[in-house]
A and B are shown apart, each in its own frame.
Chain A
Amino acid sequence: MMLLSVLLILLVLISLWAVMTPLLLRAAIGLAATSALLTMIMYQLGAPLAAVFELSVCAGLISVVFVSVVSLTHRLPLKEFMKRRQSRIKRFIFLPLLLVAALAIMLTIKLPFQLQLPAADKISDVRVMLWNIRRIDLFGQIMALLAGVYGVLILFRGRKTDGD
């Protein structure tokens, strides 16, 4: 439980950082970190399948696509960047309020957070599960990987040809 709580708090903090940072690259890293943390949480909660998928698609591919997009953008001049940084505070002025409101709502609803980790026999061998029960999911995952690869290829190659 302790580990889970720490992970959850970390998740919130890192995702906040990802949202608030003025640099896209940092945001991308934040996103990847968030995904990675989520994977860990999922594994902790006994959903290895979702964890695997989250790691492969979100932490891996989407981040790659993300970074590749970012690399295609221009860098802001320093002056402009500082200005954005200043105005960032203004843009997130309501964020603490929102967080407090969300917390208050969570507490008032009183969700039954009695998480019980499933029994050990329920977590069967990941490989067996993937291949025997989740064949179609595996196919989908392959497709997702394919799309990601496709995208990275197109974008980076496009960048090269743009330079020509």
Chain B
Amino acid sequence: MTYLLLFIPFAILILINLFPREKRTEPAFWLGLAVLVFQAGAVVASQFGYWGTILTSQLESVFGFNLQLYKMGHVLVMASALAGATALLVARATLKNKRDRFNFVGLLLVSLIGINGIAMVTDIFTLYIFIEVTALATFILIMLNREQAAFEGAFKYLIMSVVATVLMLAAVSLFILIGGGTSFLDVKMAVISDPLAYTALLLFLCGLFIKGGMVPFHGWLPDAYSSAPTAVSVWLAGIVTKASGIYALIRLMVIFGGLEPLQNIMLTVGAASIVIGALAALGQKELKRLLAYSSISQMGYIVIALGSGTVLGIFAALFHFFNHTLFKATLFANVAAVEEQTGTQEMEKLGGLAQKMPITGLTSAIASLSTAGLPPLSGFWSKLLIIIALWISGHYFFAAVAVLASVVTLAYFLLLQRQAFFGLVPAALKEVREAGPILLIPAVFLSLLIVVIGLVFPFMIQMVLR
């Protein structure tokens, strides 16, 4: 039954291509949305026991290494459902070309298969394959509108991905050479016993760093995020980068988290990403570029939490992973709304939009504050848990870096808010109106989730941590 998550998108992908060419855009959109709803429903249902016997037992056998964390795949599946639905709605509102909209759905389904695959792998080679599937679909998604800048962005992603592929494949071949198998258990045995397998693991991690856009492996990320169509940016920032890079890292750190050199690497790379991403975001003039650097910084938080080497750290990383999907998807949906209504995403040309677009302004404020980690929004709790995890494990310096960088986070989001949503309305934007409901629904829904999770979390934490 687990394979349903792979086969249903595949079946829908074939189905939408069977429609006649002129009439297939609308059914494709709705069927795509249905797939995502099914996916979210599967996760929710498994939590409440319906389907539980089938799905959960399957998932348990899949994630059976550490029973405390066997639900981590659910987080990824749920996050991909939310980000995917947002991306679909944004694409419906912003992609003008009918064929582009159709192709968007198709490619989204392909990469969704990849992500679902990543959520349930038990084998490092399978992991690599699904990462590759996701990446391939994403290259093409970035180039969807066939603009020069998008080609450049996709090209950079492609080049860096190839480097990552080489690293990961070399690692996989070394694993096969040494251990004879590529399942996580085999790999674990090999890494513990053989230094060469350990090196291979490090190469694989470097590949994942490239995929996840960690400093200093991040060169492709700002260009790819900012040059892609906004709908693709939602998908890319909301889930793809994180699934193919960060989630895989979490998955591996669950197995290898006890190795101290790995922890040090995670801490260093995480801290570098946090600081450099945040500082770079401070200097950006375009909304999407700013959000791209902000993504790097937030991914840094997840990775630094993995470096704590504790169960709490891994939980905090997963929680921040999910939260990041919520607020980054909201923010990109807001950017789509702004770009749709004003025709620009350069902050200097914007201003006072909170008066003209109140709902967009409000949701972006909620998402920004959640990113910066202000209570009682959901982002606060995950950041707090990350800092607590670091503190408990004795990494005081990195905890301090995490705290200080969240001040910078607040700084660049305040800059964004002030330049785009507050202040005087420029003369060119006098006639701007609020975006349509298609763009507002995901933003409102996600920011509601941010607030509700933030409010409910203190009551749930005991239950979750038990």
A interface residues, Cβ below 8 angstroms from B: 31, 34, 38, 41-42, 45-47, 49-51, 53-54, 57-58, 61-62, 65-66, 69, 72-73, 111-113, 115, 118, 122, 134, 136-137, 139-141, 143-144, 146-148, 150-151, 154-155, 158-159, 162
Contact = CB atoms under 8 A, between A and B. Distances in A.
Nearest to A144: B133
Contacts of B162: 31, 58, 62
B170 to A, nearest CB: 8
Question: What size tier do the contact residues of chain B reach?
Answer: 35 or more
A65 B176 CA distance: 29
Given A137-B129, A154-B144, A146 B110 contact: yes
Contacts of B274: none
Given A42-B173, A58-B162, A147 B107 contact: yes
A129 B165 CA distance: 22
Q: Which of A38, A137, A141 has the most CB of B within 10 A?
A: A137
A151 B142 CA distance: 11
A69 B155 contact: yes
A24 to B, nearest CB: 8
Contacts of B13: 146
Nearest to B136: A147
Contact of B196 (A112, A136, A158): A112
A61 B13 CA distance: 20
A66 B158 contact: yes
Contact of B126 (A41, A136, A155): A136
A99 B315 CA distance: 40
B343 interface: no
B146 A155 contact: yes
Q: Which of A69, A148, A151 counts the most B-chain CB atoms under 10 A from its CB?
A: A151
Given A42-B173, A143-B114, 9 more contacts: A49-B125, A72-B151, A140-B114, A140-B117, A141-B129, A144-B136, A147-B111, A151-B143, A162-B146
Interface string B1-35: 00000100010010000000000000000000000
Contacts of A58: 162, 165-166, 169
Interface in B170-222: 170, 172-174, 176-177, 180, 195-196, 199
Interface of B: 6, 10, 13, 103, 106-107, 110-111, 113-114, 117, 123, 125-126, 129-130, 132-133, 136-137, 139-140, 143-144, 146, 148, 151, 154-155, 158, 162, 165-166, 169-170, 172-174, 176-177, 180, 195-196, 199
Contacts of B6: 139
10 contacts: A50-B125, A58-B162, A62-B158, A137-B125, A137-B129, A140-B126, A143-B110, A143-B114, A154-B103, A154-B143
Contacts, number: 125
Nearest to A24: B155
Contact of A47 (B111, B114, B165, B176): B176
B143 A140 contact: no
A150 B107 contact: yes
A144 B143 contact: no
A147 B140 contact: yes
Nearest to A66: B158
A62 B196 CA distance: 29
A118 B139 contact: no
Nearest to A114: B196
A31 B117 CA distance: 27
B140 A155 contact: yes
Contacts of A140: 114, 117, 126, 129-130, 132-133
Contacts of B117: 136, 140, 143
Nearest to B181: A133
A47 to B, nearest CB: 4
A67 to B, nearest CB: 11
A38 B162 CA distance: 12
Contacts of A113: 196
A162 B133 CA distance: 27
Contacts of B113: 143
A65 B139 contact: yes
Contact of A50 (B106, B139, B154, B172): B172
Contacts of A62: 136, 158, 162, 165
A42 B169 contact: yes
Contacts of A45: 173-174, 176-177
Contacts of A146: 13, 110
Contacts of B143: 69, 151, 154-155
A31 B165 CA distance: 12
Contacts of B174: 45
Contacts of A50: 125, 169, 172-173, 176
A151 B195 contact: no
A137 B6 CA distance: 12
B177 A72 contact: no
A115 B177 contact: yes
B140 A150 contact: yes
Given A31-B162, A118-B180, A162-B146, A144 B129 contact: yes
Q: Most chain-A CB neighbours within 10 Å: which of B10, B140, B146?
A: B140
A143 B166 contact: no
A51 B169 CA distance: 9
B166 A150 contact: no
A144 B176 contact: no
B171 to A, nearest CB: 10
A137 B117 CA distance: 10
